[in-house]
Chains A and B, each alone.
Chain A
């Protein structure tokens, strides 16, 4: 079984309930980098991530990982090849303890150890039912659970949703650290400035199409450029 080490999308279109949401999206998510996908609400960011993970079908275009076609695989097969999606909304298994949340997906002790290294707070909460944790702790469990899979490509959808900025500032460096370990990270994030702070590449999606693609640094330094990309004024490059 081939492990997915990176992602390439070529002219990808995705529909939800028959309505086209994402059109002609082409981008790459290289190993060892954080690629951030920004955009206003309803732009199609979550739809695109769900299509990459296999929750939604791709209606046209090509999705490849490590050179192999992924579009024909179901979501379980994609996960087995190293693709992990951290969904929106702190999706812990609430009736399971923290330890069980990690055990249920673990691929090896090393992956779990690495996850706990990034989130040492969880070490003291291992026997607590995940549904009883605070929002920030639940998000840590969700991230740690994805890491326990030992993923090579990590898709993260609105990790900061409903969390205090102080917690987000705690979580984002952990994401950067994963990329530094060689994981390809595609991050969808509402805190654009914070996300750009850890990203190598940035894409802006507006109205289902990419309106900006390029290095993250210029967007980080120029809020005007970011605003115009959100409004769809910048040409896709």
Chain B
């Protein structure tokens, strides 16, 4: 069971990293970005296609990262230009349209068959007491912690971070103080798009995947972000890793393994019910 939990950390690290993207996007550009992972999928498949055309892995991966960054920046520009004054709920609904659109484009461009992706993080890193830690697990866990620490440093120690926080708190006031909301918003979309693609480049080669199942990793990522209340970066990482470890552990229990994919849904439901425990009847209705 412990080995399963350790194995599950690769997925957990990915949930944590995607959860961080969701948290940062919600905090800083007021959107629960349901298209977050789908943007990364465009990058992943760009890498796969360029690899199939004979590109070495490095340039192919760079092409994938660039594609995801550009797609994310374009979506951020659309959001900032046409829906700049919309509230978080409207912007989040629009991100669902982005998700559907990206899936449609992805099916047209890359086909619908599941495929195995080329990767550089297969195999084990080390084994202790019969428990194997894979390279993908180590990279995902370390990567999500580094991203959280880096984001915290940027938000608290740099003028850019201060401006992003100001913008998230009072967008109009920030703009009245010459803080360029549209440019910063596009930058946030681009950076989180790049991050989503980078995570998928590590995780996706570990299994045969298709665009839909990969894009729906946004659900456990959302559960991780909910653990952090869409605010705390540390708790989001813990939530993502915990969900991944729990899923991995359940996969090693014969009676329960068929239920492991329900873990994110149960987590989301439990957190939402818990978060409403102090609501009065009228407000909770």
Contact = CB atoms under 8 A, between A and B. Distances in A.
Interface in A162-198: none
B80 to A, nearest CB: 12
B165 A93 contact: yes
A85 B176 contact: yes
Interface in B174-222: 174-181
Contact of A105 (B165, B178, B180): B178
B159 A76 contact: no
Interface of A: 53-55, 74-76, 79-80, 84-85, 87, 91, 93-96, 100, 103-105, 145-146, 149
B257 interface: no
Pairs of residues from A and B, 9 with the lowest C-beta to C-beta distance, nearest first: A79-B178, A105-B177, A104-B162, A93-B166, A91-B173, A80-B178, A104-B166, A75-B175, A85-B176
Interface string B113-136: 000000000000000000000000
Interface of B: 159, 162-163, 165-166, 169-170, 172-181
A105 B172 CA distance: 14
Contacts, number: 56
A108 to B, nearest CB: 13
A169 to B, nearest CB: 26
- Interface centre among A53, A75, A94, by most chain B C-beta atoms within 10 angstroms, is A75
Given A55-B172, A91-B170, A104-B159, A96 B165 contact: yes
Nearest to A107: B178
Contacts of A84: 176-177
Contacts of B178: 76, 79-80, 105, 149
Nearest to B159: A103
Which of A84, A87, A91: most chain B Cβ within 10 A? A91
A95 B176 contact: no
